[in-house]
Structure 1
Amino acid sequence: MAKWGEGDPRWIVEERPDATNVNNWHWTEKNAGPWSKERLKELLNNLKIAQNGIDCKITELEKLDGEASANNRKGKLIFFYEWDIKLKWEGRLSGGSEVTKGEVHIPNLSEENDVSEVDMTVTIKGSGEEAQRVKAFMHNIGKKQIRVQLEEYIRSLKEEFSKGLILPKKGESSVKPDNVSTITSGFNKKIVMDPVIAPKKEVGCKLDTKSIEISEKFQCRGKEFYDALTRIEMVTAFTQGHVKMEAEKGGKFALFGGNITGEFRELVPGKKISQYWRYKQWPDQHFSEVTISIDEKDDHTLVTVKQDLIPSAEVEQTRENWKRYYFESIKRAFGFGAFL
């Protein structure tokens, strides 16, 4: 078996037009956060919304919290973005005597939701008749105009960060547009993990549990495998669905549509991940204990999963789900399974 960078052409620098990422096989990433903040400010600040004798304007982008990144895997662009936005606005009726001021809150602009589905709350200061009419205008017309600007942000994000992220393949001088596929972080496909039917447990009875231990080889660095389980954009890529995750001690996580939930107990970058971990269908409040050991060798990384306190009836299904939904999915998503 070849050592790192030997044998497999995807690891040979000479095979790469730019000496970094032959055939776009490996996971590459660009931080789109700073660019996104500037772009959202351009699109939303001072946005004028006028119709039917009512004039409104966004006066301030008061809050813009979140992150965005663009990732390339096998020539596919995967965009991850999540923003919590709060806008200040003001408006008045034509010929009206008062200026109405208020806020628009957009708590969940993300690739998980279509712009038309993004929550948007309009509030005002004051309660007079004129203020209520202006608020109704912002609720009906203003929100539509803001959604148009958000759609433009997403379009320009994908356009801007497609540049240079997809690299020419061997023998090509440039990237052919037809060879580039732009998709969301969920790959537009949800993984539905097979449900595990928990045994009925009588009150006062002790739950019978067992342990499993599984080992698997991956063609990657230890740090790369660790990142695949702790970086939200990479977890999103291999689970192909929305992910909630706080990769820190005591941080919570929810994967596969909430079928898998838990809490991080210990994190040693590139070496070890310990979790409290449960299936949604298990008896209430019952968690197993998972320890993922990551051992980087000369030519591969050996990963060992030890899981204790699994309900006995689910042992084999749990073992198969680790192989299918974690190991195989990670290899498929990031190319970590290629050996010669």
Structure 2
Amino acid sequence: MARWGEGDPRWIVEERPDAVNVNNWHWTEKDASKWSQEKLKELFIGQKISSDLALVKITDVDKLEGEAAINNRKGKLIFFYEWNMTLSWKGRLVGASDDYEGKIQIPNLSEENDLSEVEVLVTLKDSTPEGEVVKDFLHHQGCHNVRDKLGEYVRSLKEEFSKGMILPKKDSEEGKEKDQINCLSSGFSAKVQMNNVAKTASKKSAGGTFDTDTLNMSQTFQCMGEEFYRAMTTTDMISAFTTAPCVVEPKVGGKFELFNKNIYGEFVELVPDKKIVQKWRLKDWPENHFSTVKFVIEQQEDHTLVKITQTGIPKSELEVTKENWGRYYWDSIKRVFGWGYFM
């Protein structure tokens, strides 16, 4: 059964070797996570921080959790990165023979924070008077060196790794590519609320009887209600956050096909900027079985609240469905449109 989040290749939009992204119209995404991990380790491991007072060396990257990606949005690059790092250090006072060890924690490196706002927390393994002096040196001078290295990573991500993502347009020079790069950041945080309502029913299919459940979700977006409505009903915007071609007929009875036809259905009700109701199914669900998805869009003073109810989910698919609304819809919408989340 094709499940969201389990690496089903039918959900993955791959590069087509025979395709040409004419005038950069198609929305593409490039995963920068592995490259970023290698780049950050290269920048930090072996880095020396010294002065007339102390000499410190970064010996290892103990923890490096997070992800990074670049989206080509109609000729503009949108950068997304979020990392939680822990570095090991060893150092001594100049002229002394005793070494001291500790950690440097960087919990919030992301495009949402200016580098000056990135936390650099220094700890000492064994506290001694001389060790505290080394720690204090790192806390003051060392933090600037660490932020400089983080700045090198961000610049490399935007200038080195992103090369080739924006193709030269017809009658334009390849050298103009750099001028087209526009780094967009969301600047927001998010809180996704998902509550599973225990409503169970029995359905019959060609394969027999099965139980169904209902899923309730609510999501806050930093956008206008009409923008979210368009994101769920227009071909360009849906193709953007699903990173795949799609079919969308935004009218009652109109069909939609997403993720290479792995999700499909039809529109049951459309109230512009207010409500969307769909018959919705995953390709490998029991034959001819559709769930019903209802989006209620509530425009607030400074954001939009969307309440989603999905009824008729095969009970065996409930947890996977809940997880992947977040992964393939909400998280992707955040990254592509920059509408963000609230903490």
For normalisation by structure 1, the TM-score amounts to 0.55
User: Which stretches in structure 2 are left out of the alignment for 5+ residues?
Assistant: 1-17, 189-220, 244-260, 266-274, 283-291, 307-328, 338-343
Which residue number corresponds to residue 242 of structure 2? 227
Equivalent residue for 1:270, pick from 260, 263, 282 = 263
Q: Which amino acid aligns with 1:160?
A: E
Instruction: Report the Cα distance in structure 1 between the residues aligned to 2:61 and 2:237, rounded to whole angstroms.
Output: 42
After TM superposition, the structure 1 = structure 2 runs for residues 174-323 of structure 1, keeping only pairs within 5 Å, are 174=174, 176-177=176-177, 179-186=179-186, 217-219=233-235, 224=239, 227=242, 270-271=263-264, 306-307=294-295
Q: Would the aligned equivalents of 2:231 and 2:237 in 1 still touch at CA under 8 Å?
A: no
Instruction: Determine helix, strand or coil for the equivalent of 1:57.
Output: strand
Q: Which amino acid aligns with 1:306?
A: K
Which residue number corresponds to residue 50 of structure 1? 50
Deviation at 1:34, TM superposition (A): 1.3
Which residue number corresponds to residue 153 of structure 2? 153
Q: Would the aligned equivalents of 1:45 and 1:61 in 2 still touch at CA under 8 Å?
A: yes
Q: Would the aligned equivalents of 1:81 and 1:111 in 2 still touch at CA under 8 Å?
A: yes
Deviation at 1:307, TM superposition (A): 4.3
Deviation at 1:120, TM superposition (A): 1.5
Residue 215 to residue 61, structure 1, CA distance change in 2 (3 Å): closer
Instruction: Report the Cα distance in structure 1 between the residues aligned to 2:38 and 2:187, rounded to whole angstroms.
Output: 27
Q: Deviations over 1:78-133 (max 9, x none)?
A: 11111111000011112224211000011111111011101121100122110110
Q: Which amino acid aligns with 2:242?
A: D
Instruction: Determine helix, strand or coil for the equivalent of 1:46.
Output: coil
Instruction: Report the Cα distance in structure 1 between the residues aligned to 2:156 and 2:90, rounded to whole angstroms.
Output: 27
Instruction: Determine helix, strand or coil for the equivalent of 1:176.
Output: helix
Q: Which amino acid aligns with 2:77?
A: L
Which residue number corresponds to residue 92 of structure 1? 92
Instruction: Report the Cα distance in structure 1 between the residues aligned to 2:63 and 2:277, rounded to whole angstroms.
Output: 39
Instruction: Report the Cα distance in structure 1 between the residues aligned to 2:128 and 2:180, rounded to whole angstroms.
Output: 54
Which residue number corresponds to residue 231 of structure 1? none
Which residue number corresponds to residue 29 of structure 2? 29
User: Which stretches in structure 1 are left out of the alignment for 5+ residues?
Assistant: 1-17, 196-212, 229-267, 273-288, 297-303, 335-340
Instruction: Determine helix, strand or coil for the equivalent of 2:71.
Output: strand
Residue 120 to residue 155, structure 1, CA distance change in 2 (3 Å): same
Q: Would the aligned equivalents of 1:58 and 1:90 in 2 still touch at CA under 8 Å?
A: yes
Q: Deviations over 1:223-247 (max 9, x none)?
A: x47737xxxxxxxxxxxxxxxxxxx
Residue 90 to residue 292, structure 1, CA distance change in 2 (3 Å): farther
Instruction: Report the Cα distance in structure 1 between the residues aligned to 2:129 and 2:184, rounded to whole angstroms.
Output: 44
For normalisation by structure 2, the TM-score amounts to 0.55
Q: CA RMSD in A?
A: 4.1
Q: Would the aligned equivalents of 2:58 and 2:90 in 1 still touch at CA under 8 Å?
A: yes
Q: Would the aligned equivalents of 2:222 and 2:304 in 1 still touch at CA under 8 Å?
A: no
Q: Would the aligned equivalents of 2:111 and 2:187 in 1 still touch at CA under 8 Å?
A: no
The answer to which of 119-128 and 179-188 deviates more is 179-188
Residue 96 to residue 221, structure 1, CA distance change in 2 (3 Å): closer
Q: Would the aligned equivalents of 2:71 and 2:77 in 1 still touch at CA under 8 Å?
A: yes
Residue 217 to residue 185, structure 1, CA distance change in 2 (3 Å): same
After TM superposition, the structure 1 = structure 2 runs for residues 53-202 of structure 1, keeping only pairs within 5 Å, are 53-172=53-172, 174=174, 176-177=176-177, 179-186=179-186
Instruction: Report the Cα distance in structure 2 between the residues aligned to 1:123 and 1:83, rounded to whole angstroms.
Output: 19
Percent of aligned positions with the same letter in both sequences? 46
Residue 92 to residue 179, structure 1, CA distance change in 2 (3 Å): closer
Q: Across the two proteins, how many residue pairs are aligned to each other?
A: 222
